[in-house]
Structure 1
Amino acid sequence: MNLRESFDVPAPAIILAEGEFGRTGGKTSNGVVMHSEVFDARAVVDSTTAGKSPADVLRRPDAPEIPIVESVTDALETAPEAEALVIGVAPAGGELPEAWISGIEDAVRAGCDVVSGLHTFLGDEDHWSELAAAHDARIFDVRKPPEEDALRVGDGSVDEADADVVLTLGTDCAVGKRTTTFELYQAAQAAGLDAGWVATGQTGIMVGAQAGVVIDRVPADFTAGVVEDLVKSVAADHDLVFVEGQASLTHRAYSGVTLSILHGSWPDIVVLADEPERTQRTHFEQFLVDGVESETDLIEELSDAEVAAISTWGDPEVERERYDLPVANVYEEDGPADLLVAVRETLGASAPSSTAGGSE
């Protein structure tokens, strides 16, 4: 899915983040507000943080100065120019909460398209499809997998792609893989490189990847093939392709999808995202995080890729002393540019000197 093709970007939008803005459960909303190249967020709906500023809620001083309001009704009054309502929270159980229905209906009646990250596909329900048709609105269910006739097993055809491929993997879930991928993509564009990127989750699709799929909705046998097709499609138009990874190879619950992305994208290099203080896996406290060394060994054993750098949440200076790799924090001002230097040097491209470890 490429939402860029369906909107006059950036389209003014309302972001529904009820109960989760600034939290892990609202990571899609958080990402769309901070990074989307498809949607220009004009208001956020979250009754639990209404009246606060996104900078305070997200703890990001560079967050846009837009209102956080109590309801979709308030958002429509605040931003009557909105063209889309982005549902950026996936509630437990995946169903649409009853309390949200009237607000979403109001948005559709106001002519807003609905871009949904819910596990439930609104476009498949008569109520929503008929309401949208009656008000000249559209419904985009970004979690919907490709049609069956578009599914295939991986065949290695990605090897023929005429572009450098950089995959972001991680030591656990929720360690910043999507953010790292996007920040690298933006740094590459700022450096004048012909770069595109591939999303493998709903946030990346809403942020504006040139191609994407919610990979955990694809049948297991076909995940590598779907990723191959996404990478090839972006590589056809760009010299450098960044690919968002999911989970980690050492994660007992989710390693299958991680390996499929690694084999489907068959990257030239990998950037590894890590939260150095994390010892137990997110939502799986019974499992310990294996760490950078174990993840690196597996990546390089299971592919032809080289781990080129670490994207850390910690202090890069401290982390450089632990690993014989360049390290940067993409949340710091020069972090994305420093990480890009390591990527380019590993790819063999010329790059200016940087403070990133190993890039002198």
Structure 2
Amino acid sequence: MNILRFYIGKTILASSIMTLVVLAVIRVLFSLIDESSDFGKGSYQFIDGISYALLLAPKYIYEFFPMAILIGSIAGLGILASRSELTVMRAAGKTTGQIVGAALSYGMILIAVAILLGEYVAPKTTQMAEDIRNRAIYGDRLLKSTQGLWVKDGQNMVHISEVIGASKLKDVSIYQFNEQQQLKQLTQAASAELTDSGWTLINGQQSVISSQQIVQSLFDAKQWPTSINLDHLSVLKLEPETLNIRSLYEYRNYLHNNGLDTQAYDLAFWRKIIQPISIAVMIVLAASFIFGPMRSVSMGARVLVGVLTGMMYFFAIRTFGPVSLVFGLPAFFGALLPPLLFAFAAWYMLKKAG
């Protein structure tokens, strides 16, 4: 059985890796095309776009993992079926469950690779990609550090500690200089919020500096005329998809403790937790297709069904989560429902196939 397990696993691994490479290459090319509209902004050129797209490849591979494993497993098991090797295995006394178990045992290797990508590789390379892009486009106007973001805003220098959500900033300091580059005013606010009328500073202090004195005043809310926009702030914003499980958990708790919306980070957290389950479900689903309705069809038809089913799963993952949040359902439910539905379909087809 060990030799048989190795043979089945090797076939599925080879097909799955090939599928992952193809999907990643296609996605990288589309990413490069998307970036072409920004070529020429600042010093952002074609070579920077290539670096940006390639560094995003681990993120794309991680996102495509379940879909690629489904297509690769259908192709791999389909190769064995087309050579009648699966029939010979069953004639030799191997049950469908044993064959599926052999496929799953080597699927654990793929699951381990997915975890490494999602937890260690993709977050780092994605951050590197964003740094390259932002440095080329904005140059000296933006400087990101471990303490936050510095933005040049006309004669002002603005420091922002953190971007929370799409329209809230934490700990904003505005340094206003005169034409001699001397500090003439310092405004500090606990937060800033984007409204229909622009940015509003909340709970702050303003210090007007002259050669004779410093005049300080407090304010509860104050309009902030600025050229800073959401594109600038995206440099600092922590996108849920770019964080690993530990960072998602810690940041989610931080938002919760400050009374802020945590839904997007809850959903991303549970998606990452459930990703290994999704990969296992895709392997079982592939086996259910091969032993069930696709037992005697051509390889082309198998791959086509794999691609279509994989796309269905890919879009289901991205649809069920947000929809569940709209209806007030737990993020865990939105992340778990797609693999549960596909697992049920796999179980039904395997049971029907006997």
Greater helix percent: which structure? 2
TM-score tier by shorter-chain length is: under 0.3
**Given the two structures, how large is their TM-score scaled by the length of structure 2?**
0.25
For normalisation by structure 1, the TM-score amounts to 0.25
Q: Which has the larger radius of gyration?
A: 2
Bigger relative contact order, structure 1 or 2 (CA pairs below 8 A, ≥6 apart): 2
